[in-house]
Structures are given as structure tokens and as C-alpha cells.
Structure 1
Amino acid sequence: MAPLYLVDYHTHTHCSPDSSAPLANMVRAAQAAGLRELCTTDHCDLQQEDGSPLGDWDWKPILDQFEQAKVPQNRDDFCLLLGIELGGGHTDPQRAQKLLEGVPLDFVIGSVHNLSPAAGGRDFFFLDFQEEALARRTLDDYFDSLLALAPLPCYDTLGHIIYPLRYINGRSGHHITLDPWQEQLDQVLGTVIETGRAIEVNTHNGREVEQWRPILERYRQLGGTRVTLGSDAHKPENVAKGLDRAARLLREIGFSSVTLYRQRQPRQQPL
């Protein structure tokens, strides 16, 4: 079997508030890991951690860093791409679209990191999910947000659909599945397929791979073909973590390719 074509389309640098890594260091880590492509996708969240709206936004640090890293680091067998992780685009669709205008982006992740404004807007990271009832109410709210985001034009791949489970199960010790929200999940996946977008398999630094199996199996049953891969690395040592296992999982389920982007246009690359 041919070697896997591995790419990492979800990484963060010191241009994100939760990372201190220079892009040049992330690039070196990607090359050392044998990746063919690295896309830098720093945070741009329309909802801040406390739920308040995003204030002023300046692209300059991201663009300057990208230009500095691109020239000395690019090689014929390696490509560095410019992306962004746009959080909460559904809370202000007009601003989300305006933020993306005139920027030479290759790729946009559309994510939901927070409760809806009506539910207080807090980032899931800061919620205490010890009470299972709160966890279930949060997932109700989360799927309402995904349903609002899915049809919008402000993203290319729908980011880490299982994201709240990181904190509900991984940190708080519950064993909640998304089965009670299957109808809403099917609606979200159906909209992604109808609009020609992708879904992301986010390995969470290699900690979440097998958890994606039911999502991917259902997505393929519904006719989905476009999938992006990302580690969600916030430091160099986590670049590419779990991507080989994620790519093999895709093959096992029946996907034959991974989705790549140039200037926000998708193309399928055999795995």
C-alpha cells in the first residue's frame, strides 16, 4: 500500500491566545514529522471566553508571521498554507463574512467553542460539567449552534464536531455519547454535504481518533466525501499527533482521499 499523504490542517501559534509557539517552529516540526502540508489556523473567535463579542481584529500579526515563515521554510515536497479557525460565525454572520474579505486565506475552519449568546456565551473550557444535566443542556445548545452555523458561507470545514465531549467526558468523567442528538447531527452533516463543505477529524494532539468512527461512518452513509485532518497542535511537539491513525481510520471506513484547500477551493488527494 502506498505511503499515507499526511497533512495537518489545524494548528495554532503565538497569534492565538492559548499558544506561545512561533510559526517557524511549527513548520520545522511538520517537516520533521514528514508532513506534506501544514496549514496554520490561529483563533479568530467572534465570542470571547466570557461570551462577549469580539472587539477590534488585526490580521497583521498573522500575515506578517506567515510571510516570514513561508519564504525560508518552503520546499518542493512541503507546502505551508494560510488558514484561520473562525469561532462563533453564526453569532454574527455579517461580521464573519466581512472578517474574511480581502485576506489571502487558503482555508477556514468553522468552529463552535461557546454556549450560544442566549445561554450566556461562556467558552466550554470554563464550564463545570460535574452535573450531567448541565452537560446535556450544553449539548442541546451546541447542536442548535451547529445547525445555525452549517449553512453559512464563512467556513470550509466544520471543526471538531465532538468538541464539547473533551470536557464533558474527558475532564468530567461522564460517558455521554451523541446518540440522543442523532437527528440534529444528521441535519448538520446533511447541510455540510449539500453545501460542498467538509468535516474535520480533529485528533486533539493524538488523544481523539477512534472517537471519530461513528461520526465518519454516518457521514459516509449520508454521502459525505470531504474530510480534513488536523491535530489541533498548540505547540511543536504536538504537530501531526494522531494523523497517521486518523488517515488509516478513514481508509478503514471506506474513504479514499483527504480534502486539501488552495484559496478556499477544495480538491481531493488520495490518502
Structure 2
Amino acid sequence: MYLTDYHTHSCCSPDSTARLEDMVRAARRAGLRELCTTDHCDLQDENGAPLGGWDWTPILDQYWRARDKGGSEVKVLLGLELGGAYTDPGRAEALVAAAPLDFVIGSIHNLSPEAGGRDFFYLDYRSEEACYTTLDDYFASMLALTRLDCYDALGHIIYPLRYMNGRAGWHITLDRYGDQLDQLLRAVIQNGKAIEVNTHGGREVEDWRPILRHYHQLGGELVTTGSDAHSPGNVGRGISQAVALLRETGFHRFAVYRKRRPEWIKL
């Protein structure tokens, strides 16, 4: 089975201390064939304020050192998780053009500037109403993101639920967001972009079934798999289950990327 992890973070992300070399070793142990490092580059800080300059040097230095550590077993690719690109499209385009990237995840981690810009991680999900107000804003931001060309795969569509349900203990679903999900997936397909199955370290796999099924029914084909690992112990977790889920929901192939162009891997 050809297994790929296209969503991982190293010490070049503010929420990880892992060396990329150790992530590559973990990928070999997990039986992965490809590992894409996608460190965070958010255009907003945790309070929604625009972030300043961006230094590619530590990411590139680490990547060049680690690239050959996978040997012939694991291909190591250079990616980025670009957060909040729709808040400053010009800057987002300049950032991704400044490095020899293979793959870019487009993500939303914050409320919109109009809603205060606070990072979802720090929000108080004190009521179901607060959760749905957050999701209303989230899907509007995601739709704005799909209009851009500075990303390759739309990141973790179900992202806020990990805090609402996993941490705050609610049982929020996306049932009321059928129209928004439909618009989102159609825009992704029309623009030649992908979605990712983000396993969240193996904790979120089955959650993706309805989205994958609908995406496939709409004609969507481009899908990537990622663990969202921030430490070596989570590299590759849930990826084999994600591949199995892709088969079960009608997919016959998934995508890998080279210089931001998709290539196909048969399931």
C-alpha cells in the first residue's frame, strides 16, 4: 500500500518542537512512501492581528538537511500550511512564490477580521449557539479562500469541530451546512484544487465519510491524506484507514504533488 502523509509540522511551526529529521525517521518506521513537511505560515496571530515578515531560511535549511534522510524508502517534499490567505491575497501569493514548494495547504485557523480574528483554539465554546456562530463565520471564510489560487488543497474542512466536540464536549454536526459544503466542494472542483483527509493523528477518519461521499458524487477526484502530526509519534497515524475510506467512498486514486502539480497514485 502506497501511504503518504501530506500534513506535518516541525519545530519551524510555533506549536511543534520536532526536528524534521526525526519526522522523516518516523515516516520510515510508519511505512510511508512520502512525507510532506507543511509548517505553519499564518497571516494572522492568535488575536487576529496581521503578522509581519516571514523568513524562509530556517524551513529551507532544515529541509535541505533532512531531504535525504528518507533514503530510497521515503520521498521528502517541501510544503506549507498557509493560514488565512484570503485576508491578504497579495501577500499570500508572494509568500508561496518565494520558495520551491511542492504543495500548499490552504487553511482557516481564525475567525474573520470582521468577527474579531481570534484563533479557534482560544475561543470559548460555551454554548451550541456560540459554536454555530463560529461555524457560520468559518464557512464564509473558507468560501473566500476557494476564490484564490495560492493553495493546492483545502485544509481540514471540519477543523473547528475538534475543539467544539473533542475539547468542549459538544456534539456539533455540519448537518445545517449542506448548502455551504456543496458550494465549497463545487468551488474546489471547478478551480482544480484538492481536499485533504486530515486524520488528526488518527482521531478523525470516519468523520470524513459524508464529505468524501458528497465530493465524489459531485465529480471531485483530487484528495490528499495527512495526519496533522506535530510530533514523530503521530506521523502516519490514521493514513492507512484514510486510504481504506477513500476506497469505500468510491475513489480509485489519490493525489501527490510535485512542484505544486498533482500526480496520481492508484488505490
Please list every run of 5 or more consecutive structure 1 residues that lacks an aligned counterpart in the other structure.
none
Q: Quick one: which of 61, 65, 73 aligns to 2:58?
A: 61
Question: Is the contact between residue 226 and residue 239 of structure 2 (CA under 8 Å) also seen in structure 1?
Answer: yes
Deviation at 1:110, TM superposition (A): 0.2
Shift of 1:70: 1.2
Aligned to 1:31: 28
Q: Percent identity?
A: 64
Aligned to 2:212: 216
Q: TM-score, normalised by structure 2?
A: 0.99
What is the CA–CA distance in structure 2 between the aligned matches of 1:167 and 1:103, rounded to whole Å?
32
CA RMSD of aligned residues (A): 0.8
- Partner Cα distance (1:15, 1:148) in 2: 27
Runs (5+) with no aligned partner, structure 2: none
Pick from 91, 97, 104: which aligns with 1:95? 91
Question: 2:178 aligned with 1:182, yes or no?
Answer: yes
From 250, 254, 258, the equivalent of 2:254 is: 258
- Partner residue, 2:240: 244
Asked if 1:200 is matched to 2:196, the reply is: yes
Aligned to 2:227: 231
Deviation for aligned residue 1:125: 0.3
Task: Kindly provide the CA deviation profile for residues 101-148 of structure 1, in whole angstroms up to 9, marking residues without a partner as x.
Answer: 131000000000000000000000001112111101000000000010
Superposition TM-score, scaled by structure 1 size: 0.97
Asked if structure 1 preserves the Cα contact closer than 8 Å seen for 2:9 and 2:38, the reply is yes
Q: Is 2:43 aligned against 1:46?
A: yes
User: What is the Cα deviation at residue 164 of structure 1?
Assistant: 0.4
Q: Is 1:19 matched up with 2:13? A: no
Supply the distance in 1 between the matched residues of 2:123 and 2:249 (Cα, whole angstroms): 34
- Give the deviation of 1:76 after TM superposition: 2.3
Letter in 2 for 1:180: R
Distance in structure 1 (CA, Å) of the matches to 2:29 and 2:254 = 21
Count of aligned pairs: 267
Counterpart selection for 2:165 from 169, 179, 182: 169
Would you say the 8 A contact 2:28–2:70 is kept in 1?
no
After superposition, what is the alpha-carbon deviation per residue over 1:151-191, rounded to whole angstroms, capped at 9, x for unaligned?
20010000000000001111111111111111011111001
Is the aligned partner of 1:85 residue 2:77? Answer: no
